[in-house]
Chains A and B, each alone.
Chain A
Amino acid sequence: QKEVEQNSGPLSVPEGAIASLNCTYSDRVSQSFFWYRQYSGKSPELIMSIYSNGDKEDGRFTAQLNKASQYVSLLIRDSQPSDSATYLCAVNNDVAGYSTLTFGKGTMLLVSP
Chain B
Amino acid sequence: DGGITQSPKYLFRKEGQNVTLSCEQNLNHDAMYWYRQDPGQGLRLIYYSQIVNDFQKGDIAEGYSVSREKKESFPLTVTSAQKNPTAFYLCASRKHQGGHQPQHFGDGTRLSIL
Chain A complexes with chain B: yes
Q: A residues bordering B, Cβ < 8 Å?
A: 4, 8, 31-32, 34, 42-46, 49, 51, 88, 90, 92, 94, 97-106
Q: How far apart sit A43 and B3, CA to CA, in the bound complex (Å)?
A: 13
Structural contact, A92 and B90, CB atoms closer than 8 A? no
Residue in A closest to B108 when the chains form the complex, CB atoms: A43
Residue in A closest to B97 when the chains form the complex, CB atoms: A99
Structural contact, B102 and A46, CB atoms closer than 8 A? yes
Structural contact, B107 and A42, CB atoms closer than 8 A? yes
Selected interface stretch from B11-19, B37-45, B63-71, B78-86: B37-45
The secondary-structure label for the interface of chain A is: strand
Residue in B closest to A32 when the chains form the complex, CB atoms: B99
**Chain B contacts with A in 46-67, Cβ cutoff 8 A:** 48, 50, 56, 58
Structural contact, B106 and A43, CB atoms closer than 8 A? yes
Structural contact, A99 and B42, CB atoms closer than 8 A? no
Q: B residues bordering A, Cβ < 8 Å?
A: 31, 33, 35, 40-45, 48, 50, 56, 58, 90, 94, 97-108
Residue in B closest to A44 when the chains form the complex, CB atoms: B105
- Assess A101 versus B97: contact at CB under 8 Å? Given A43-B90, A88-B43: no
Cβ-neighbour of A44 out of B43, B45, B58, B94 (below 8 A): B43
Cβ-neighbour of B45 out of A32, A49, A100, A106 (below 8 A): A100
Structural contact, A98 and B50, CB atoms closer than 8 A? yes
Structural contact, B48 and A98, CB atoms closer than 8 A? yes
A105 neighbours in B (Cβ, 8 Å): 40-42
Structural contact, B56 and A43, CB atoms closer than 8 A? no
Smallest CB separation, B101 vs chain A (Å): 8
Given A42-B107, A46-B104, A90-B103, 12 extra CB contacts under 8 A: A4-B42, A43-B108, A44-B43, A49-B100, A88-B42, A92-B100, A98-B50, A98-B97, A99-B50, A99-B99, A101-B103, A104-B42
A94 neighbours in B (Cβ, 8 Å): 99
A34 neighbours in B (Cβ, 8 Å): 102-103
A49 neighbours in B (Cβ, 8 Å): 100, 102
